[in-house]
Amino acid sequence: MLSPKAILVVLDGIGDRPIPQFNNRTPLQAAETPILDKLARDGCCGIMDVISPGYPVGSDVAHLTMLGYDFENDYPGRGPLEALGVGMDIGENDIALRGNLAHVDHSLVIVDRRAGRQIPEAEEFVGAVDGLVLENKPGIVFHAKHSTEQRVACVIRGKGLSMAFSSTNPNRNYTPIEKSVPLDDSVEAKNTASIINDITFQIYVKLKESPLNEKRKEKGLPLVNTILFHGAGKLKKVKGFQEKYNLKAGCVTGNGLIRGVCKYVGIDILPCKGATGTLETDLDEKINVLLSNMDNHDFLLLHIKATDSTGHDKKPEKKKQFIEKVDKALARLISNMDYDSTYIFITGDHTTPCEVGDHSGDPVPVLIAGPTVIKDDVEKFDETSCAAGYLSRIRGKDFFNLVLNKLGKLEKFGA
Amino acid sequence: MLSPKAILVVLDGIGDRPIPQFNNRTPLQAAETPILDKLARDGCCGIMDVISPGYPVGSDVAHLTMLGYDFENDYPGRGPLEALGVGMDIGENDIALRGNLAHVDHSLVIVDRRAGRQIPEAEEFVGAVDGLVLENKPGIVFHAKHSTEQRVACVIRGKGLSMAFSSTNPNRNYTPIEKSVPLDDSVEAKNTASIINDITFQIYVKLKESPLNEKRKEKGLPLVNTILFHGAGKLKKVKGFQEKYNLKAGCVTGNGLIRGVCKYVGIDILPCKGATGTLETDLDEKINVLLSNMDNHDFLLLHIKATDSTGHDKKPEKKKQFIEKVDKALARLISNMDYDSTYIFITGDHTTPCEVGDHSGDPVPVLIAGPTVIKDDVEKFDETSCAAGYLSRIRGKDFFNLVLNKLGKLEKFGA
């Protein structure tokens, strides 16, 4: 077998808990998944704690971990990943933040911390403040780019910036925008907090006069006249994926955060218009993009988001149906890929139980199929069936070594 | 589900090894346990290494670990836990030790290091030396309180004490009491070792003349004329349970050491007269106390000791019978608790194989039942059945995160 390849399918938030309407089965147990089950029969399964048993984890930290990065040292925070995900450039001295477009009154008290969530003019509002400079802080530039809904990726560039400042987003309405304060005694921290506060005020000055707000007011919509900041971070120096593993890697995803993670570690983002990260995502196109990139990549990550969103939305029936849609799409993948030289890994980045509506610390199922993969007795890809498999219960930090092991990319330690 | 609660049942020393007279089944495998088996069928199971595979552990370290404390940093030693367990006050500068009432001859050679174990006058002997002061060491006071059998909890209070001194208990007869020596070059270590030796001598002076010893001599019983010291420790600063987890916790136990662990971490000790820690313990009363404290607690620990003692005593038949008694008592618990909003965790703190007569490093079975707990195929709560369950093989340090995960008390890391 010459240069085997690996595909990792991440079903975001796939794990779940028993659902009464499914006769106490999970959405994955209740779903008809002939392809996933065939792969389970062909290969071996297990369960995985991405960090450790019981510990809930975000998708960004989970993906970094599963890709073999040490989240405790390598996680840059949400801001930089969001900014990378929307295609912004970030320098190593820049500070990246997540912003929320919001509505404040004239005394800067928050009326709607998400300005209604669906904001058709979001790009225009954000464009109006992108490139903002401060008269009293020469050399500082504020960049912003719309992400999804009310979300804005923000980058502050200039000299003398520190990470030691507090956020301005209080995460609730009817309270003033929080004033950023320095979190240590340095000149840089004082300066950065002051820059954040000045930017906040200048954004208000710019946006409150926007004619777009006149129209929103007429329609009775929340105004968009501020950006609330949180999730600040700086890039960290991490070893790029290709240098680290000597693998050329690509990713198909419709999700900005995962795009950000991939850019951060140097995994190609493979363009795919139909990938929306929603229930309506074009899985066939995603599979096509994947298949057409098999020749020029060693490792391909297929990230599928809506398994998670349906858990957040507490919609088990939709989660089940979407899992069935994924299963059908995987049929095309496995009938068109070179099954003799390609390993397929299928897992989740965390569980999102519909009962909870958020990530929980339950383990996720894992499946490995492909040439010379040892076969166990697992006949179905689901939470409990996989737990009885050959892989037993593993940790996320070991996951990528399983991939590398199959690809023969790990040198033995010792003689 | 509003504010779910959790009950943790610890069957001390539950795990065991094959017993020939049970057709090579363990006491837990041989016992009739319809309730434990029903819970196993209702929920999911696994096995747990409290520290790591093969490593034997004491009940104190095991409980601390299972409650989410880091024993390497947080374990204060046996002395302070014993003292807390019998209700003594300990200050942060005090040194607490375990003592054994013992019989020495006039040259301080040990005749019986446990003075016969059963000592009806133990409280009077200990009372006679409680509050002892040393003429040549002003400000030093020795406090003592009888615990069980020959055991005494001891506290030394005063200024300039160090932990760097050796024990006096050689753990065998026909050898002199060991002289405590300083274990570093500090003045405090020298001073403390000297205090230990002076206290040892003063106790001998006080007790040898006791009229109680005249009577013991007449009866041919070992004299009680010294206390042998070991297990010295100081309290450590640990985060209290409620502050650490935002959970109000209570414990029902008849065992001093577990009471000590609970006091140490700030878990309420729920009074229960019938809880004796022996085969005759009143399990029904323990269950009643537990049930009547469900409303005002979020987490309740039910500790049951005699599963361990029967292992220490190498009595498999008694261990099996006691397990069956526990199973009957659990019937009352589950038929009276609110099964829709209460999780029940059942496990042991370590194995105490009857063959060994002491703790071994074999894993313990674990069971989780309750609302929305995933169901696996395990039909019986025992060592090997549980090993085939969904939880697979976990570590004690992750155990409490499983509880917190069910109670929704862990914040996710990342986004």
Q: Are B405 and A361 a contacting pair at CB < 8 A?
A: yes
- For A135, counting Cβ atoms within 10 Å of its Cβ (0-12 exposed, 13-18 middle, 19+ buried), the class is exposed
Strands ordered across the beta sheet of B392-395: B268-269, B249-252, B299-304, B5-11, B342-347, B364-369, B44-49, B392-395
Q: Are B413 and A58 a contacting pair at CB < 8 A?
A: yes
Q: Which residues pair with B303 in a beta bridge?
A: B10
Average pLDDT of span A314-343: 96
**Phi and psi (nearest 5°) for B396?**
-55, -35
For residue A189, the surrounding DSSP H or E stretch is helix A187-208
Contact A63, A52 (CB under 8 A): no
pLDDT score at A293? 97
Nearest to A18 among B374, B393, B404 (CB): B374
Average pLDDT of span A94-105: 96
Q: Are B374 and A383 a contacting pair at CB < 8 A?
A: yes
CA distance B394 to chain A (A): 8
CA distance B240 to chain A (A): 21
pLDDT score at B11? 98
Residue of B nearest to A26 (CA): B374
User: What pTM does this model have?
Assistant: 0.91
CA distance A355 to chain B (A): 8
Nearest to A57 among B44, B374, B413 (CB): B413
ipTM of the assembly?
0.89
pLDDT tens per residue across span B222-246: 999 999 999 999 999 999 999 999 9
Written as six digits, the tokens of B333 are 């618990």
pLDDT tens per residue across span A272-314: 999 999 999 999 999 999 999 999 999 999 999 999 999 999 9
CA distance A217 to chain B (A): 33
Report the candidate in A286, A214, A221 with the shortest Cα–Cα distance to residue A250: A286
**pLDDT at B1 exceeding the cut of 90:** no
pLDDT score at A290? 97
Nearest to B398 among A17, A52, A75 (CB): A52
Q: DSSP secondary-structure letter at B361? A: S
